[in-house]
Amino acid sequence: MSESRATSATVNPDSGTASSASSPVAVSTSPGNSPSVRRRLAALLYEALLLFGVVFIAGYLFSTLTQQRNGLTHHNVMAAWIGLVVGLYFVWFWTHGGQTLPMKTWRLRVVTANGAPLSAWRAVGRYLLAWLWFLPPLALHPLLGLRLPQTLAIAGIWFVLWAATGRLGASRQFLHDRLAGTRVIEVAR
């Protein structure tokens, strides 16, 4: 892994511009600095735990504002609302520094394929493509009339196959990152 050290200037992750600073910051720049699949999946697990709180608050706000008395009332609208809130969460953090809290903890950052910060449109595209981790096997459930154990087995196999895409190719990025023109990189300490 190659990295460059900025001693008289640091790189602002929001704008990608250099500015003077009192402490040196290491910035990873090589395309070979992709984190391991295990590390990215650990960050994904941490992200899921953190998102539980975000989804809980979004669901509570929806239920309160719509005076929802039954979980099945307006459930499609609520699902769309929660998807929007989660999307806004990711797009905001990816466009403002390239890191969510779990990504900071695991020292990961999402950038474009050439190392630049993500634009809002690219972040939205990455968010939508990331749903390919889950939606295809879950869509089979109603389409094929599968039972829950069958659906969970297919989803598990799909998840493992999708995670394996992180080991393919020179960039060692997951398929949704390749399709979105993004990559996850390690951030030096």
Digit-coded pLDDT (tens) for 114-134: 999 999 999 999 999 999 988
- The CA distance from 111 to 97, in Å, is 9
Digit-coded pLDDT (tens) for 127-162: 999 999 888 888 888 888 889 999 999 999 999 998
Domain ranges in the chain? 3-186
